[in-house]
Chain A
Amino acid sequence: MKSKNMLNYGARLKIETLVKGFSYAIGLVGFLSVARETGFIYNLLFAGLCAFATYREYKLNFTVPRWGINIVSVLLIALALIRITQDNMVVPALESLIALLGVKFLEEKRFRDYMQIYAISIFLLAGSALLSLDMLFLAFFFTLIFLITMTVVLLACYSEDSAMELQFSTAVKILSRAFLITLISIPITVMFFIILPRTNYPLLNFLNRASSGLSGFTDSITLGEISDIFEDNTVLFRAKMNRVDDKYLYWRGIVLEHFDGRTWRNIGAPENIKLWRTDLRGERISQSIFLEPYNNRYFFGLDKPIYVRYPRSKGFDDLTFSLSENIMRKIKYDVISSLSDTMPARKEEANRYLQLPMDKHGTLSKIKELADSITGNKKGEAAVNALLGHLTGGMFRYSIKGMPVTKKPLEEFLFARKEGSCEYYASAMAVMLRLSGIPARIVGGFRGGDYNDLGGYYMIPQKYAHVWVEAYIEDKGWKRIDPTPAGSGGPTVKIRKGFMLKLKLFIDSINYYWSVAVINYNLEKQINILGGVMHAFKQPSLKFEMDKKTLAELGLFIIAVPAVLGLLLALLRRKRQTIEEGLLSRFLSVMERHGYKKGRAEGLEEFISKIADNGIRESAAMFVSKFQRFYYRDMKIGKDELKKLDDIIVEAKRRRADSNR
């Protein structure tokens, strides 16, 4: 008998030891996930604190005063705040977290302290994901989830009864349950793994209008196809730079020189061998541009960009820069621009910008007549100004709604409707210039930008897309001409003020920092897979050309969403229980474990009178008489009383073991 008891005792585990041990393990995993990135000093500090805390836990009998720990914690957070800079945010924060975790270990731990340790560990792991994301992250991730799931279960028991001892088999059972929870959570997590790091990628883009009737940057301009343009508020790029005068805010992207009567295209300027154009005068401005993926290959820079620093970027003679493939992920590049509105060029080069389409409908001759009547005898710059005056003089109105869908868009614009978008103005201007013998080309890009003082950058949404004209003026070179009437509500600069803009800019600065943080983070593969799924749904015939992997992911998505929703609902329902109901359900579940189940229509006293075991009935009666006094008198159970009642429940829980012995 005695030996059996001894054996039992040996197989019992103190729950406190378990909770402590696992909590240290959780902290350690959190630490290890970032240890490669954080500074040596901090790693050493953590190791030291950790070792000391473990030693204190088992050998020393003294407690570090809580106020001391709080002061140190505040100092550590302050230190982190001081060290954080815009470019280096993550590492200092993680280092402070590591130190904080080490300090936390020193504490005499209560329930919330354990929870804080877990929270910090999760933060550390999340932080490590910002620095590098490889297979090791997944390993840490699942270890952490597994450990935390299990320890929280143990912690719940521990907080009820700190002296509780667990049978070895029970501990193993909890362990295996926690492992199961982790396993179940894997598919859901994988889903988030795909989506989360790129939440600002327009995931639901497929819901948008399929037509390209959104305002935004395009690499060709076609007139007379779309009657309405919708403003697209998504930010295409952010340019970190000093504030400049609004009149300089022309962002050059592409030059279109070939016109076929309806469409302007880029047919390729000769590549510019000279990397630095020293012949450009004007203030030099450097910008760091954070460009969102946008399915095209052009870099944007403040007009006139003379240098773009990005691997494999190509510069062209017309001062445009591009990659040979589309930009499919967030990139950052540096640009140096010269704020000059003219750009020297030789006349021979300029002459290739006189191309005109064949005059099929007689439109061109009509336009030529108009241009001649406007310019009269004027030549060169004077002629340019005269033509510009015709368009901006007030006869024409800016509009992006109700534009004519026609085969002869320019004729319609110039002679009939006299309203249209910047594309019409620029086309009309360029065609009239060419008809007057002045080389001209269309430049596509953006006009304007919202300056974010908080982050020190310009935010350029798609709706600021704009086209303007460059005309060649002898002895001067290419001169920027914007024929679109200013202040007419178009994408020309609108000075927006007020709270909403400030709020928008503030929110965008968070976005900006996120972009900065994940800029080197390559995820386009995952996004493409998801995009493929979305795309397949977009097809009217719904062709399943997805591979097995995509299908599996889709299936997981379908399973995961209801699962998560169900979980949330269950949590909400749990929350609605009052203290009294919670207490009662705890009591009843303990009784049920003893084999006594209360009927729905059974009163509490009625219920306990049926309990056969004297010991259990005694503690149950004690609970019921105390509980009823509050419950049926509509009185709130005080903290002390709650504790007492909980104690009775705990006692009742152990009754069985006692009577069995």
Chain B
Amino acid sequence: MTETQGQRLNEIIKFLSVYLHGKDKALRLSLITFFSKGHLLIEDLPGLGKTTLAIAISKALGLSFGRIQCTSDLLPTDITGLSIYKKDSGEFEFHPGPIFSNIVLVDEINRATPKTQSALLEAMGEKQTTIEGKTYKLPKPFFVIATQNPVEQFGTFPLPESQMDRFMMKISIGYVSREAEKEIISGGSRREELYAIEPMMNSDEVMQIQRDVKGKVYSSSKIMDYIMDIVEATRNTKYILAGISTRGALALNATAKTNAYFHGRDFVIPEDIKELAEHTIPHRVIFREEYDSLDKKEIVRSIIDRIPVPA
């Protein structure tokens, strides 16, 4: 069963890559984050297809999609929604905000004020939101894709480190290859077509896969030890000031399980962790100032390359 489901996921990736030229890897990482019940942070320049990626995922999986464009005057209620007095009934009626969607794209999250950011991040963490004293459950599955622009610094509110930890992975899409870009230019944007694609799954199936990943993929105590080795290494290395948190360790395990599932295995191997390490680790540790200018992925890789695998 696992293998066929794993295959189906790979088919989805294959299918979507028609619309997302050369973004296979980003797509794969996004899906891994999604099925690990985590949230994704994409750090990239504008115009590289972040929105397209989010739309593609939501459409292919048959899920609802909401989008929030962050600006400095964005209020928390703009995200969560608000109650409006209805004159005819004489009651307040709740109008849900864009966060009440399965997949929420939060564009340029670092432009929002800290107050709005924290409202969003609370919703991400608790999978519920509280408006005027009333708690509303968010739909399931719930997946946030936040983006931020690494270059633009003026008038932004960078996410504090503690908030970064709430994202399971941080990826960047990067420029596509010359060939792929040529194809995009000649064919034009295919976002319109994306809206028209038939969903390949429904939300029930999606949640079943999420449950399978959690419950049926076996993570041996050897793997746990390996994870602990990595965690300890990040806490003891000279490059890093604050190592991986317990939440981070959980994220390493969860993403590794999903990765194994994608590979058609029902058990985790060290490669599942190593493969994702440069997306799961760098954003959740604080590097010492003197090493801040170095390539953080490289540092993480060098740390992991010194940790012996169980076999």
Contact = CB atoms under 8 A, between A and B. Distances in A.
B84 interface: no
A275 to B, nearest CB: 83
B218 A600 contact: no
A603 B270 contact: yes
B218 A601 contact: no
A606 B271 contact: yes
A499 interface: no
Interface string A19-40: 0000000000000000000000
Name the interface size band of chain A.
Answer: 10 to 19
Contacts of A634: 218, 220-222
A605 B271 CA distance: 7
Closest 9 CB pairs of A and B: A603-B271, A600-B308, A603-B270, A632-B267, A633-B267, A634-B220, A632-B220, A601-B305, A605-B271
Interface in B250-298: 265-271, 274
5 contacts: A601-B306, A601-B309, A631-B222, A632-B218, A632-B311
Interface string A575-616: 000001000100000000000000111111110000000000
Contacts of A604: 269, 271, 309, 311
Contacts of B307: 601
Chain B CB within 10 Å — which of A584, A627, A632 has the most?
A632
B309 A600 contact: yes
A42 B270 CA distance: 64
Contacts of A600: 308-309
Contacts of B309: 600-604
Contacts, number: 52
A604 B274 CA distance: 12
A629 B267 CA distance: 7
B305 A632 contact: no
Given A601-B308, A603-B309, A633 B220 contact: yes
Contacts of B311: 580, 584, 604, 627-628, 631-632
A609 to B, nearest CB: 9
Interface of B: 218, 220-223, 265-271, 274, 304-311
Contacts of A603: 269-271, 274, 309
Interface in A619-633: 627-629, 631-633
A628 B267 contact: yes
B222 A606 contact: no
B306 A632 contact: no
A444 B306 CA distance: 78
B223 A632 contact: yes
A631 B223 CA distance: 10
A629 B306 CA distance: 25
Contacts of B305: 599, 601
Given A603-B271, A627-B311, A632-B268, 15 more contacts: A600-B308, A601-B305, A601-B307, A603-B270, A604-B271, A604-B309, A606-B271, A628-B265, A628-B267, A628-B269, A631-B310, A632-B222, A632-B267, A632-B311, A633-B218
A354 to B, nearest CB: 91
A591 to B, nearest CB: 13
A311 to B, nearest CB: 72
A606 B218 CA distance: 20
Nearest to A625: B265
A629 B263 CA distance: 13
A599 B311 CA distance: 10
A632 B267 CA distance: 6
Chain B CB within 10 Å — which of A580, A603, A634 has the most?
A603
A629 B270 CA distance: 13
A605 B269 contact: yes
Contacts of B266: 633
B274 to A, nearest CB: 6
A634 B307 CA distance: 21
A631 B219 CA distance: 11
A579 to B, nearest CB: 13
Contacts of A629: 267
B34 to A, nearest CB: 24
Contacts of B222: 631-632, 634
A511 B311 CA distance: 52
Contacts of A601: 304-309
B119 to A, nearest CB: 41
A493 B310 CA distance: 68
A606 B274 contact: yes
Nearest to B273: A603
Nearest to B221: A634
A455 B271 CA distance: 69
A634 B271 CA distance: 17
B271 to A, nearest CB: 4
Contacts of B265: 628
Contacts of B269: 603-605, 628, 632
Contacts of A602: 309
A603 to B, nearest CB: 4
A621 to B, nearest CB: 13
Nearest to A628: B269
Nearest to A599: B305
A423 B212 CA distance: 92
Contacts of A580: 311
Contacts of B310: 631-632
Contacts of A627: 311
Contacts of B306: 601
B261 to A, nearest CB: 14
B225 to A, nearest CB: 12
A628 B269 CA distance: 8
Nearest to A634: B220
Nearest to B272: A603
A602 B269 CA distance: 11
Contacts of A606: 271, 274
A601 B274 CA distance: 10
Chain B CB within 10 Å — which of A584, A601, A627, A634 has the most?
A601
A606 B273 CA distance: 12
Contacts of A605: 269, 271
A605 B274 CA distance: 11
Interface string A197-208: 000000000000
A625 to B, nearest CB: 9
Contacts of A633: 218, 220, 266-267
Nearest to A601: B305
A605 B221 CA distance: 19
Contacts of B267: 628-629, 632-633
A603 B307 CA distance: 11
A629 B311 CA distance: 12
A584 B267 CA distance: 18
Contacts of A631: 220, 222, 310-311
A483 to B, nearest CB: 78
Contacts of A584: 311
Chain A CB within 10 Å — which of B221, B265, B304 has the most?
B265
A627 B310 CA distance: 13
